Amino acid sequence: MTRVLVLNGPNLGRLGSREPEVYGSASHAELVAAAGVWGAELGLEVQVRQSDDESELVGWLHEAVDTSTHVVLNPAAFTHYSYALRDAAAQVTTAGLQLIEVHLSNPYAREAFRHVSVIGPVATGTVAGFGFGSYALALRAVAERTGSHKH
Ligand code: DQA
């Protein structure tokens, strides 16, 4: 089965209580549950993780490379300035694996500092602005690009 790691960066563990007008009122636990359902529908084995720690996220990207696992990544604020995460993300796509950058909100409709993504240039593609739907669309992209939805 095609494996996908869904990785969420800093403050995303606070989903539901953090700025619900921007990020919605559903919790991270609800995202984990929803991603499991979408994955099952798409024939993907999905594991969702969240960390506020840059080095932990870098380690998980290394793990993805070493285990040939595709990645859906919401780098959160690291999107805008973490070259360490960018370099780790680049190893995923260079290895021929999918790395889809996702955002709940549409960063381009927000503050100027959110208009830059250092991850985007090394990602397979980016989905932003659809709330939890961004993750559903990203998983669908992985399924279609790996052919796993046909099995
Ligand atoms: C975010 C957008 C980022 O700018 C922000 O720092 C986040 C969440 C999103 O999902 O919309 O923490 O990645």
Domain ranges of the chain: 2-146
CA angle 92, 144, 89 (to 5 degrees): 15
Answer yes or no: is the C-beta of 142 below 6 A from any ligand 1 atom: no
Among 86, 51, 47, 50, which residue's Cα sits nearest to residue 70? 47
Mean pLDDT throughout 38-47? 97
Element (H, E) at 43: none
Residue 50 pLDDT level (bands cut at 50, 70, 90)? very high
Cβ–ligand 1 distance for 28 under 6 Å, the answer: no
pTM of whole model > 0.85?
Answer: yes
First to last CA, the chain: 9
Separation of alpha carbons 147 and 98, rounded Å = 12
Q: Is 14 in the pocket of ligand 1 (CB under 6 A)?
A: no
Q: Please give the distance, rounded to the nearest whole angstrom, from the Cα atom of residue 9 to the centre of ligand 1.
A: 9
Ligand 1 atom nearest to CA at 105: 11
Asked about 23 being catalytic, the answer comes back as: yes
149 among known catalytic residues: no
Residues 6+ apart with CB under 8 A from 111: none
Catalytic residue among 103, 115, 135, 151: 103
- According to CATH, the superfamily of the domain at 2-146 is Dehydroquinase, class II (3.40.50.9100)
pLDDT at residue 22, as a whole number: 86
In short, whether 93's Cβ falls inside 6 Å of ligand 1 is no
**How far apart are alpha carbons 90 and 61 in whole angstroms?**
9
**Mean pLDDT (whole number) for 25-44:** 96
What is the pLDDT, as a whole number, of residue 150? 59
CB 46 within 8 A of CB 35: yes
Task: Please give the C-alpha separations between residue 102 and each of 30, 66, 95, 150, 151, in angstroms, as whole numbers.
Answer: 17, 22, 20, 24, 25
Tens digits of residue pLDDT in 97-129:
999 999 999 999 999 999 999 999 999 999 999
Protein residue whose Cα sits closest to atom 13 of ligand 1: 76
Contacts of 62 by beta carbon, 8 Å cutoff, 6+ apart: 88, 91
Ligand 1 pocket check for 103: Cβ under 6 Å: yes
